[in-house]
Amino acid sequence: MEYTIKKIANLSGVSARTLRFYDEIDLLKPARVNSSGYRIYGQNEVNRLQQILFYREMDLKLEEIKEILDNPDFDVEQALMEHQEKLVAKRQEIDRLLASVQQTMKYYKGEIEMSDQEKFTAFKEQKVAENEAKYGKEIREKYGEETVERSNKKYLNLTEEQMQEMAETEVQLFETIGVYLEQPEIESDVAKEIFRLHKKWLSYTWPTYSAEAHKGLGMMYIADERFMAYYDEKHAGAAQALNDAIKYYA
């Protein structure tokens, strides 16, 4: 089966303009161009477009998608399994939030009692699910299933006050890193404070503290682009500064 650009646009819901752009950046080339100058797409292109749309739903940049799909080791079946896992996780997040909204509606109607802890449970579960979707595989490989499960359980059992303290600790951590980056000196009170605040932040979720595990996490911050981006979007060089402080003081 072959499609003109108009037909594949109608089939996929992707505009012809977007398809032309994908052609220009070599993300999705047509199978051929006919004698009239029309782009013609075949089954391979249809399959590739489907993969592009899957990855777009995961908020990946176009250049990242192209790199993935052009990899000679790209496995379509494995990619579909990963898509499925992420979609299931997203559905579970939505189900939890819906359940929380329904419970809260009953609470405000006076139909049920609801503790302050219960009001925040769904949101904490969503945060755990998000972390699992983003970093679960790497974290579990590094620290093991039992440790991760214990950490998630501890987080889910945090009180509202502890949640607030954890959030404030992270704010203080970023502020201190910003100060440190203005005049980076590892043997300084500011660097030591970075380590102290990060260790305190971990204490809200880590079942037990380990200096070795702390150092390993610091290394992950600079080795994994996703972790680095999280810190560096606040201050350029923040991930490296944090790792340096952990490595020196842990």
Q: Based on the fold, state whether residues 150 and 190 are members of the same structural domain.
A: no
Note the pLDDT tens digit of each residue in 32-76. Answer: 999 999 999 999 999 999 999 988 887 788 998 999 999 988 888
pLDDT score of 119:
65
Q: Based on the fold, state whether residues 88 and 65 are members of the same structural domain.
A: no
Q: Based on the fold, state whether residues 23 and 61 are members of the same structural domain.
A: yes
CB burial class (10 A; 0-12, 13-18, 19+) of residue 209? exposed
pLDDT score of 103:
77
pLDDT score of 116:
62
**CATH number (domain holding residue 55):** 1.10.1660.10
Q: Based on the fold, state whether residues 111 and 124 are members of the same structural domain.
A: yes
What does the CA dihedral 137, 142, 146, 150 come to, rounded to 10 degrees? -90
Q: How far apart are CA 49 and CA 143, in angstroms?
A: 37
Residue 230 in this model has a pLDDT that exceeds 80: yes
Q: How far apart are CA 178 and CA 164, in angstroms?
A: 21
Q: Based on the fold, state whether residues 139 and 183 are members of the same structural domain.
A: no
Residues 6+ apart with CB under 8 A from 155: 124, 127, 128, 204, 205
**CATH number (domain holding residue 173):** 1.10.490.50
Number of domains in the chain: 3
Q: Based on the fold, state whether residues 14 and 34 are members of the same structural domain.
A: yes
Q: Based on the fold, state whether residues 195 and 170 are members of the same structural domain.
A: yes
Q: Any long-range contacts for 2-7 (C-beta under 8 Å, 24+ apart)?
A: 2/31, 2/40, 2/41, 2/42, 3/40, 3/41, 3/42, 3/46, 4/38, 4/39, 4/40, 4/41, 5/30, 5/38, 5/39, 5/41
3-state class (DSSP) for residue 39:
strand
Q: How many CA atoms lie within 13 A of 83 on its CB side?
A: 16
Q: Based on the fold, state whether residues 54 and 94 are members of the same structural domain.
A: no
Q: Based on the fold, state whether residues 112 and 192 are members of the same structural domain.
A: no
The order of strands in the sheet holding 39-41 is: 3-4, 39-41, 32-33
Note the pLDDT tens digit of each residue in 77-118. Answer: 888 888 788 788 778 777 877 777 787 788 778 888 877 666
Compute the mean pLDDT over every residue in the chain, rounded to the nearest whole number: 88
Q: Based on the fold, state whether residues 119 and 164 are members of the same structural domain.
A: no
Q: Based on the fold, state whether residues 173 and 115 are members of the same structural domain.
A: no
Domain boundary among 45, 70, 95: 70
Domain boundary among 24, 48, 70: 70
Q: Give the structural domain span for 117.
A: 76-156
Which strand (E) or helix (H) includes residue 165?
Answer: helix 160-182
Indicate the pLDDT class of residue 122, thresholds 50, 70 and 90: low
Domain boundary among 156, 173, 202: 156
Token pair for 204: 């809200």
Q: How far apart are CA 235 and CA 194, in angstroms?
A: 14
Q: Based on the fold, state whether residues 142 and 101 are members of the same structural domain.
A: yes
Residue 22 in this model has a pLDDT that exceeds 90: yes
Region of 187 on the Ramachandran plot (φ > 0 left; ψ -120 to 50 alpha; else beta): beta
